[in-house]
Chain A
Amino acid sequence: DSGVTQTPKHLITATGQRVTLRCSPRSGDLSVYWYQQSLDQGLQFLIQYYNGEERAKGNILERFSAQQFPDLHSELNLSSLELGDSALYFCASSVGLAGYTDTQYFGPGTRLTVL
Chain B
Amino acid sequence: AQSVSQHNHHVILSEAASLELGCNYSYGGTVNLFWYVQYPGQHLQLLLKYFSGDPLVKGIKGFEAEFIKSKFSFNLRKPSVQWSDTAEYFCAVNARTGGFKTIFGAGTRLFVKA
Give me the interface of A with B, judged by CB distance under 8 Å: 2, 4, 31, 33, 35, 42-45, 48, 50, 55-56, 58, 90, 92, 99-101, 103-109
Contacts and interface: CB of A to CB of B under 8 A. Distances in A.
B102 A45 contact: yes
Contacts, number: 58
A42 B107 contact: yes
Interface residues on B, range: 20 to 34
Contacts of B51: 100-101
Given A99-B94, A100-B32, A45 B99 contact: no
Contacts of A101: 32, 49, 51
Is chain A's interface secondary structure helix, strand, loop, or mixed overall? Answer: strand
26 contacts: A2-B45, A4-B43, A42-B106, A45-B101, A45-B103, A48-B101, A50-B100, A55-B99, A56-B99, A56-B100, A99-B94, A100-B32, A100-B51, A100-B94, A100-B95, A101-B32, A101-B49, A101-B51, A103-B46, A103-B49, A104-B46, A105-B45, A105-B46, A106-B43, A106-B44, A108-B42
